[in-house]
Amino acid sequence: MIVSRRLAAGRIALFLGVAGITIIQGIASVASKSQRWSGHWANSSVVIGWAGVWGACIAAGATALILAAPRSRGYDDLLRASSRSQARIHLAGLVTVAAGSLAGYTVVTGYVAAATATSATHGGLDIIELLPTAASVPLAVGIGALFGRLAPPRIAPVAAAVAPYLIYMAVVYAEAYSGQIAYMDLLWTDQVDRTYLRLPAELLVSRAVLWMMLGVALLGLSLHASRLAYASAVVASLSAAVALLSVGTRIEVPAAYAAACSGEQPRVCVDRAHDHILPEYQREIVTSVQPVQGLELSTMVVVMDEHLAAPGADLPGSGPDARRVIVPIVKRNTSPAHEIDSATLTANVGFALFLAPCMARPTAADDVGLTTAAALYHWWLTSHGLPTDGTNFPGEPSLDSILIENEEAARTAGSFVRLVEEERQEWFSESTESVLTCTAVPAR
């Protein structure tokens, strides 16, 4: 029953506000880490939970705001003298916040699903992975209700908004300090990468029930529904016990390691977990090796990690004797990433072709092969317009520092740059084997 148009308008504004802020922060949270989930359904199902870290803060703050309003506006006595239960009085406001929060997560889920569906090759959204995020809604509303009813009205919204994050951080620190127990598995969201692993369903379900029931218990406590509060607390503690039995459990996904290879030259292979970026990986590799046309690449297979580079790894269409060159897929701080950063990949191709072979054998500072490799990598980076200060990917050596310390390498790099295109191709065609074994001598 609508008794006041202004109250109804306020609730609509509240719904839109909670949903809108949840959507904005949620999409910003997941988009800023798109390299960890894009095109991969299992990870996509998990990242929606990342929106729940701040999303819970928003819902808790909004709940506290509406529940503290009667005290801050001075009509709380009016509500206390009501013949309706406190739960019934506040139900519409609580449902509005919960609905706004859920609507926000639904839109974030839609965004993630749409972004993933365009490139994913297998799988689908995992509903069980979404349960803990949904459970964070009653938790946040419960926290907000508690603060809204008990904390001083002016600080209640802020204190409630901070509380879920404090719970989150407390669990993160508990895990960091315990060093053994994966307490973060208990949270409504986690940072476990699902590329090669998954969490047991009973853990996901039990932690969802834990937070949902804890939220209901807090709501019951706040709204004088003590029987509901006690019953929910009992269910929450049972769920915590079930969840604790399986924290730290990881289930490997063997199929994720299987190789998926392109049929074109140079041959490239990724694992099945990353097969959604195989065409782009192939394309980027082909584009980046254009300047080394003289280099004979037909006997080479470019793979994304050491697992596929291992002699025993089965690469469809390639013999066991094919030379395997590792070009990792790195984006931001994620490796292997589910998105390709073109510049980083190009730098990695150069590193894999020229410097990585030197890492496979012992070298001295005055090693001619190493000097040539450093010069070639320097040329590679400058010809692709990439920085030479070691900032292309984590672990990259600084060519600037190497060339300052190694005058021979600097001279070699300079002379290589001065070669005309045909001379460079000729040198590469003559030096393929020595380049790929770190034994090349400088071009003169």
What is the contact surface with another protein in residues (CB under 8 A)? 1, 3-7, 10, 69-70, 73-75, 77-86, 89, 224
- The residue (of 78 and 170) whose beta carbon lies closer to another protein is 78
CB of residue 146 vs another protein: minimum separation in angstroms? 17
* Contact criterion met (CB below 8 Å) for 164 and 139: yes
Q: Give the Cα separation of 209 and 148 in Å (integer).
A: 24
- Residue closer to another protein, measured from CB, 80 or 154: 80
CB 38 within 8 A of CB 31: no
φ, ψ of residue 119 in degrees (nearest 5): -125, -15
Alpha carbon distance 347, 328 (integer Å): 10
Nearest distance from residue 62's CB to another protein, in Å?
16
Taking the least distance from each CB to another protein, the nearer of 77 and 264 is: 77
Cβ atoms < 10 Å from Cβ of 252: 10
Whether residue 99 contacts residue 22, with contact meaning beta carbons closer than 8 Å, is answered with: no
Give the pair of three-digit tokens for residue 141: 């509303």
CB of 232 to another protein, least distance (A): 17
Residue appearing with tokens 């998954």: 198
By beta-carbon proximity to another protein, the closer residue of 74 and 312 is 74
Give least dist CB 17 to another protein, A: 15
Which residues lie across from 301 on neighbouring strands? 267, 324
- Tokens, residue 40: 């991969």
Q: CB of 178: closest distance to another protein in angstroms?
A: 41
Closest to another protein by CB, 8 vs 28, is 8
CA angle 67, 50, 96 (to 5 degrees): 25
Closest distance of CB 91 from another protein, Å: 12
Nearer of residues 9 and 16 to another protein, judged by Cβ: 9
Which C-beta is closer to another protein: that of 68 or that of 212? 68
Indicate the residue among 75 and 173 with the shorter CB distance to another protein. Answer: 75
Which residues are CB-neighbours of 144 under 8 A, at least 6 positions away? 59, 60, 61, 62, 63, 64, 65, 67, 97, 160
Distances from the Cα of 189 to the Cα of 32, 39, 145, 246, 277, angstroms: 17, 20, 22, 16, 26
Alpha helix ranges (H) inside 289-387: 306-309, 342-350, 356-359, 368-383
Residue 72 or 106 with smaller CB distance to another protein:
72
CB of 139 to another protein, least distance (A): 24
Per-residue CA distances from 329 to 342, 343, 347 (Å)? 10, 11, 11
Nearer to another protein, 154 or 418 (CB): 154
Distance between CA 396 and CA 238 in Å, rounded?
Answer: 49
Residue 304 per-residue DSSP state:
S
Residue 34 CB, shortest distance to another protein, in Å, is: 41
Q: How far is the CB of 85 from another protein (least distance, A)?
A: 7
The total of other beta-carbon atoms located within 10 Å of residue 437's CB is: 14
- The least distance separating another protein from the CB of residue 2, rounded to whole angstroms, comes to 9
Of the pair 80, 122, the CB lying nearest another protein is at 80
List C-alpha distances in Å: 443 to 208, 314, 372, 401, 415.
64, 37, 9, 22, 7
Q: How far is the CB of 226 from another protein (least distance, A)?
A: 8
